[in-house]
């Protein structure tokens, strides 16, 4: 039996963070695939021949309604100087029963409800507090554990799982990776802005400084020089949207304030590049004066919302409401309250706000809005616009305020523009939205859909 156990365990890269993978997706499996596999806490007991395989053979039937569980909290990798790590909502947590496949590079379709790599023995999703409980976990030593949200993924090892009891694990095992040596990080492009230093949010979330490089570098976060920060050998931001070939190498593209070919008018050919990226499964986060990507972009992007002439609000702070009429909006309100970013659930004061959206057009989701004046401050929509949810692969977000506080002063070299303070409440909003932006795509009118195998 010991020999069989050692053979089974030899299939896994069990060292902490040793995934041996590069970032990408799991092959774009069609959502029509067999959905009779794993759900919340389900357990695989055999293969098609009726025989257990690898770690399946270490699942113990306890009886009396008792199971072997592993519990914990999925968190960011936030360094201590920026405060405590934040919990991550809607992360996939599982015990794999096979090696994880490397993610193929480039933009790809990632739909909720499709399989994850590694043929899980048991899996679940984290709740709004980041907490999870895995049921029917294999018993023994060196049990692999994976945490994943979209293309953030890290595999670690639980030294011992004791049968028929709960086995709490420390957050050192359940945080996302700091760099690509610890696991997988989305390939992100940022066209930098002096008004909205979003790269600093990623740094404070725990992404290592070494991951921020020019597009010719090996980092997972590529800096394109707009009117904000730069790094050695950075290309101008126009190089990012020069062609589908360039844009489609990324998973996520961030366009903070003023990171657009022409403010207040059509982005021209660059707009089609962004639309192609979104329709292929790309994710875009646009703020404030970069609104032209959507408002003036190629059809059907302008149909996403009721856009108006951009203008100031003259109210600071702006009292805003979090729309809790859909599951993820309710989760954002609860999450901000749980981490102490708001004092009243569903209400938040926003700074450096503007007005360019009067309302949203279904099925665009309204996340944050104000009533005096009446504005939409944050919205999201899935792409291709107009397709059924089962045929959508990409996601776009717009926030009509400066997400990141402080002006960097054009030309500052990263990370000199980043202040030493923890994330502000509205920066926490972006943190939540970034993880949601990175995650699998689904109909947001429904609760999160777990993977199946």
Output the CA angle 170-176-181, nearest 5 degrees.
110
**302 phi, psi to nearest 5 deg:** -65, -20
Whether 350 contacts 311, CB under 8 Å:
no
Whether 173 contacts 72, CB under 8 Å:
yes
Token pair of 348 as six digits: 């938040």
* pLDDT of 420 higher than 80: yes
CA 365 – CA 437 distance, rounded (Å):
13
Tell me the mean pLDDT in the region 216-222.
97
Q: State pLDDT tens for residues 236-286.
A: 999 999 999 999 999 999 999 999 999 999 999 999 999 999 999 999 999
Whole-number average pLDDT of the chain: 89
Which residues make Cβ contacts (< 8 Å) with residue 403, sequence separation at least 6?
196, 198, 201, 256, 287, 426, 427, 429, 430
* pLDDT of 8 higher than 80: no
Domains belonging to the chain, first-starting first, are 1-184 (2.60.40.10), 188-438 (3.40.50.880)
Per-residue confidence (pLDDT) for residue 339, from 0 to 100: 98
Q: State pLDDT tens for residues 36-62.
A: 234 444 444 455 566 899 999 999 999
Confidence tier at 6 by pLDDT (50, 70, 90):
very low
- What is the share, in percent, of the chain residues with pLDDT greater than 70? 87
**147 phi, psi to nearest 5 deg:** -115, 135
Q: Which of 208, 216, 215 has its CA nearest to residue 191? A: 215
Per-residue confidence (pLDDT) for residue 24, from 0 to 100: 30
Confidence tier at 33 by pLDDT (50, 70, 90):
very low
Q: State pLDDT tens for residues 283-315.
A: 999 999 999 999 999 999 999 999 999 999 989
* pLDDT of 15 higher than 90: no
Greater confidence, 17 or 317? Answer: 317
**Lowest-confidence pick of 142-151, 354-363, 409-418:** 409-418
Query: How buried is residue 235: exposed, middle or buried, by Cβ count under 10 Å (0-12/13-18/19+)?
Result: middle
* pLDDT of 85 higher than 90: yes
Confidence tier at 389 by pLDDT (50, 70, 90):
very high
Whether 352 contacts 403, CB under 8 Å:
no
Q: Which of 119, 193, 197, 183 has its CA nearest to residue 150? A: 183
* pLDDT of 13 higher than 80: no
**Lowest-confidence pick of 33-47, 198-212, 399-413:** 33-47
Per-residue confidence (pLDDT) for residue 327, from 0 to 100: 98
Per-residue confidence (pLDDT) for residue 51, from 0 to 100: 87
Per-residue confidence (pLDDT) for residue 403, from 0 to 100: 86
Tell me the mean pLDDT in the region 401-422.
80
Confidence tier at 195 by pLDDT (50, 70, 90):
confident
């Amino acid at each position: 039996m010991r020999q069989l156990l050692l053979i089974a365990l030899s299939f896994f890269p069990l060292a902490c963070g040793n995934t041996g993978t590069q970032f990408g997706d799991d092959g774009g499996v069609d959502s029509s695939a067999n959905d009779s596999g794993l759900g919340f806490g389900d357990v695989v007991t055999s293969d098609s021949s009726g025989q257990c395989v690898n770690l399946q053979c270490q699942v113990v039937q306890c009886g009396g309604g008792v199971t072997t569980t592993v519990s914990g909290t999925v968190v960011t990798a936030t360094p201590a100087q920026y405060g405590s790590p934040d919990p991550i909502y809607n992360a996939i947590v599982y015990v794999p029963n096979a090696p994880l496949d490397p993610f193929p590079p480039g933009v790809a379709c990632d739909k909720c409800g499709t399989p994850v790599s590694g043929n899980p023995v048991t899996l679940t999703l984290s709740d709004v507090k980041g907490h999870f409980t895995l049921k029917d976990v294999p018993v023994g030593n060196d049990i692999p554990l994976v945490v994943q949200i979209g293309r953030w993924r890290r595999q670690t090892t639980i030294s011992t799982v004791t049968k028929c009891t709960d086995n709490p694990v420390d957050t050192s095992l359940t945080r996302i990776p700091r760099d690509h040596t610890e696991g997988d990080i989305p390939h992100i492009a940022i066209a930098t802005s002096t008004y909205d230093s979003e790269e600093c949010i990623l740094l404070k979330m725990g992404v290592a400084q070494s991951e921020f490089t020019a597009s010719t570098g090996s980092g997972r976060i590529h800096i394109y020089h707009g009117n904000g920060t730069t790094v050695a050998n950075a290309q101008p931001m126009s190089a990012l949207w020069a062609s589908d070939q360039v844009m489609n190498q990324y998973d996520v593209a961030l366009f903070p304030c003023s990171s657009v070919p022409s403010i207040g008018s059509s982005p021209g050919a660059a707009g089609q590049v962004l639309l192609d990226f979104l329709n292929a499964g790309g994710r875009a986060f646009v703020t404030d004066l970069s609104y032209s990507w959507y408002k003036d972009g190629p059809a059907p992007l302008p149909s996403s919302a009721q856009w108006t002439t951009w203008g100031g609000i003259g109210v600071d702070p702006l009292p805003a409401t979090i729309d809790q009429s859909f599951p993820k909006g309710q989760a954002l309100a609860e999450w901000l309250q749980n981490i102490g970013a708001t004092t009243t659930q569903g209400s938040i004061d926003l700074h450096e706000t503007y007005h360019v959206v009067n309302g949203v057009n279904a099925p665009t989701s309204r996340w944050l809005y104000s009533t005096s004046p009446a504005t939409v401050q944050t919205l999201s929509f899935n792409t291709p616009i107009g397709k059924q949810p089962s045929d959508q692969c990409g996601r776009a977000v717009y926030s009509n305020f400066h997400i990141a506080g402080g002006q960097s002063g054009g030309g500052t070299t990263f990370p000199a523009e980043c202040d030493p303070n923890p994330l502000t409440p509205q920066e926490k909003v972006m943190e939540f939205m970034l993880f949601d932006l990175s995650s699998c795509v689904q109909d947001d009118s429904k609760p999160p859909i777990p993977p199946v195998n």
